[in-house]
Amino acid sequence: MAKVLNSEEVDTGLAQLKGWVLRGNEIEKRYEFNDFREAIAFVNAVADEAEKVDHHPDITINYNKVLLALSTHNAGGLTEKDFGLARDIDFI
């Protein structure tokens, strides 16, 4: 099982990302697109990355806004799997 990161490791991980913030045991990022269709296209791109690494963000879609939240639930906190996927998503 992936190791839960300590707060220093979390800070280091966040510094390598664009626009992700820590909220409790999760890191999250908010996106705003031109419309619903663009939001759905982005969600599909995220889904492809998620399937590649078998790690899946919680996804909330409100018309043109998307919220992604990452945590490693079975480890009970943030792990390198979350930061790895967040970096992949930042490259979409």
Is residue 45 a contact point for its own copies (CB under 8 A)? no
Determine the 3-state secondary structure of 42 from DSSP. Answer: helix
Is residue 16 a contact point for its own copies (CB under 8 A)? no
Region from 3-11, 25-33, 52-60, 78-86 binding its own copies, contact rule CB under 8 A = 52-60
Region from 4-12, 18-26, 61-69, 77-85 binding its own copies, contact rule CB under 8 A = 61-69
Tell me how far apart the alpha carbons of residues 43 and 59 are, in angstroms, rounded to a whole number. 8
Of 56, 76, 52, 92, nearest to 3 by C-alpha is 76
Count the alpha carbons within 13 Å of 35 in the hemisphere toward its beta carbon.
1
User: Where on the chain is the footprint of its own copies (CB under 8 A)?
Assistant: 36-37, 40, 43-44, 47, 50-51, 56, 58-63
